[in-house]
Structure 1
Amino acid sequence: MAFTTEPPAVPPELLIGFPIPHVLLLTLNRPKQLNAMTPALQAAIERVLDWFEDEVSLWVVIVTGKGRAFCAGQDLKMWLADRRSAPLPSGSSKHGFASISRRKSCKPIIAAVNGVAMGGGMELIVNCDLVVASEDAKFALPEVSRGVVAAQGGIPRIAAISGHQLASEMLLLGQPISAQLAHDRFGFVNRVVPASEVLPTALKLAQTIVNNSPDSVWSTKIGLVEGRGDVEGYVQRWEDNPRGRGFAQSENIAEGLRAFQEKRKPAWKNPAPISAIKAKL
């Protein structure tokens, strides 16, 4: 796949791939540590995702973990050893835990959850747009049992998704729940599948998304993000965002209408760079 700029270099703890056109795959690669987050891994994810945001040929990202865990949260042993010089964990960046839990991306983020997702790993998940989980996955926000707080976006996200009482059950008890409960009762998992089907299912969802107009998808995602908890104000924020209303200036809107009229499949193009959109607005 040709990119406008080359992807940044990453350490072995993070694997990047491009399994299908327009899709970036990020794999946390610390399986012996259950993919617990470190400052170096956090920084690598941030570099890649900042590049991904600007790379118009990439439309969707999938995040997964190597081994028997998705992400066990912050590496508490490392944090304990460095707590005086770093009183907050590495998740306290401008984009939150793993540079995802508070990221306001216009591009869809899919979590492919294999096994354990705890603490920051769970905070990451509830800011993703679609979540596929293995049947044996476990989810928890155990911060209160460790003397810390789910302060990287997990508290308001789980409350918005599950409601106050169910959010309290996760946040105040700190106990794990199953993938099926996460799907049926708490509502933050879209699909529960056998472990071998987690990544293939996530790729199918990504393929379905990239079959649609990227301009329309990104504009819709902005509406979702800006509309959280504030129905009255989101329209103005959507219109103020170039990617929000910029889809109306795109070649893809004309292509979608022509394809409908001609009864054929649309041939979508990469969206314009943000600088070009701003110039037209």
Structure 2
Amino acid sequence: MSSNWDPLALHPPPHEEHLKVSFPQDHVMLITLNRPNNLNAITPQLTKDIATILNWFDDQTSLWVVVVTGSGRAFCAGADLKAWLHNQSSGRANEQEEVASSVHGFASISRRHTSCKPMIAAVNGSAYGGGVEMILNCDIVIASEDAVFALPEVKRGVLAAQGVIPRLGRVAGHQLASEMLLLGNTITAIQARDRFRFVNFVVDTSAVLSTALDIARQVVMNSPDSVQSSKHGLVLAQKHHFEEAVQTHALSLVSKRLYQGSNIKEGLAAFSERRKPRWSNPAKL
């Protein structure tokens, strides 16, 4: 494990109360969507706050994993449709350009590909629309037994356009992705795990967050350089063909940091000396 963890030294940037930020264990940040009366539907301000916090998180070498969850009985109900209707009615909406120009996608999560740090979703209840788009871009997903998932955009005349279509097609396959996208029906946590394959673990409702934090703890037991380079390789695999992905990954700055850093030496020495490794914070890229 690491000996360089001091949560008191962390000072996240200002944000409104609809987003909670905490540091529950070594090298782990927890962000909680905090609009329970609105099923944690995402507003423009909440998107800005999430972007601010995650950009700050990416810059903190002592933070290695982020867990995302929701307060109350829902993970996230997606976009605030009343606000969407207001924008449409006022003529201020320009969804095509907004989607195309969005750097990190829905809630600043659904297309966040620039970070090499793992993101874990603790799905404590229902997830609809953009909530599912967020989940599909997380690396590990823990869901409660009573969690439900849906992409109901077709029932509202809108579109799930922030990254879930290509990602779900790759994860679930064309036909199963079509089932969710074209029917807009709700599926259970078990179906999301066993048929559609975007949930890792289904647990008792009371154990969702503790399980997610335990998974985060297991990740943190490993070299942060190795973990972040591994995630980077997975992201590159989505963008390139096999050989190009391998070569691009091998020559990347993230791999260079791994091969030239202190943690590779520590991991090999710890193995030779039959002791647990003591990881250091990775160098800034």
Determine if the alignment matches structure 1 residue 24 to structure 2 residue 29. Answer: yes
Shift of 1:81: 1.1
Shift of 1:236: 3.2
Question: Normalising to structure 1: TM-score of the pair?
Answer: 0.94
Determine if the alignment matches structure 1 residue 102 to structure 2 residue 107. Answer: no
Paired position in structure 2 for 1:52: 57
Give the alignment partner of residue 46 of structure 2, picking from 41, 44, 47.
41
Matched residue SS, 2:278? coil
Give the alignment partner of residue 130 of structure 1, picking from 125, 140, 146.
140
Matched residue SS, 1:82? helix
Paired position in structure 2 for 1:85: 92
Gaps of 5+ in 2: 1-5
Label 1:66 to 1:5 Cα distance change in 2 as closer, same or farther (>3 A): closer
Letter in 2 for 1:264: R
Which structure has more relative contact order (CA 8 Å, sep 6+)? It is 2
Determine if the alignment matches structure 1 residue 65 to structure 2 residue 70. Answer: yes
Give the alignment partner of residue 127 of structure 2, picking from 105, 117, 126.
117
Written as runs of structure 1 = structure 2, the 5 A alignment for 1:224-263 is 224-228=234-238, 230-263=241-274
Question: Normalising to structure 2: TM-score of the pair?
Answer: 0.92
Give the alignment partner of residue 164 of structure 1, picking from 174, 184, 188.
174
Shift of 1:244: 3.1
8 Å CA contact 1:13, 1:30 repeated in 2:
yes
Written as runs of structure 1 = structure 2, the 5 A alignment for 1:169-188 is 169-188=179-198
Letter in 1 for 2:23: F
Paired position in structure 2 for 1:212: 222
Label 1:41 to 1:197 Cα distance change in 2 as closer, same or farther (>3 A): same
Per mean C-alpha deviation after superposition, the further-off stretch among 66-75 and 242-251 is 242-251
Paired position in structure 1 for 2:212: 202
Give the alignment partner of residue 13 of structure 1, picking from 18, 25, 35.
18
Paired position in structure 2 for 1:277: none
8 Å CA contact 2:154, 2:184 repeated in 1:
yes
Letter in 2 for 1:112: A
Letter in 1 for 2:210: P
Label 1:85 to 1:103 Cα distance change in 2 as closer, same or farther (>3 A): same
Gaps of 5+ in 1: 275-281
- The separation in 2 between residues aligned to 1:100 and 1:227, in whole angstroms, is 19
RMSD of the TM alignment (CA)? 1.6
8 Å CA contact 2:7, 2:23 repeated in 1:
no
Cα deviation 1:158-196 (Å, max 9, x = unaligned)? 111000000000000010100000011111100000110
- The separation in 2 between residues aligned to 1:190 and 1:245, in whole angstroms, is 30
- The separation in 1 between residues aligned to 2:190 and 2:161, in whole angstroms, is 25
Matched residue SS, 2:238? coil
Residues matched between the structures, number: 274
- The separation in 1 between residues aligned to 2:72 and 2:235, in whole angstroms, is 31
Shift of 1:2: 4.6
Shift of 1:242: 1.1
Label 1:5 to 1:27 Cα distance change in 2 as closer, same or farther (>3 A): closer
- The separation in 1 between residues aligned to 2:243 and 2:186, in whole angstroms, is 36
Per mean C-alpha deviation after superposition, the further-off stretch among 226-235 and 256-265 is 226-235
Query: After the TM superposition, which parts of structure 1 deviate over 4 Å for at least 4 consecutive aligned residues?
Result: 2-5, 89-92
8 Å CA contact 1:4, 1:55 repeated in 2:
no
Letter in 1 for 2:94: P
Letter in 2 for 1:228: Q
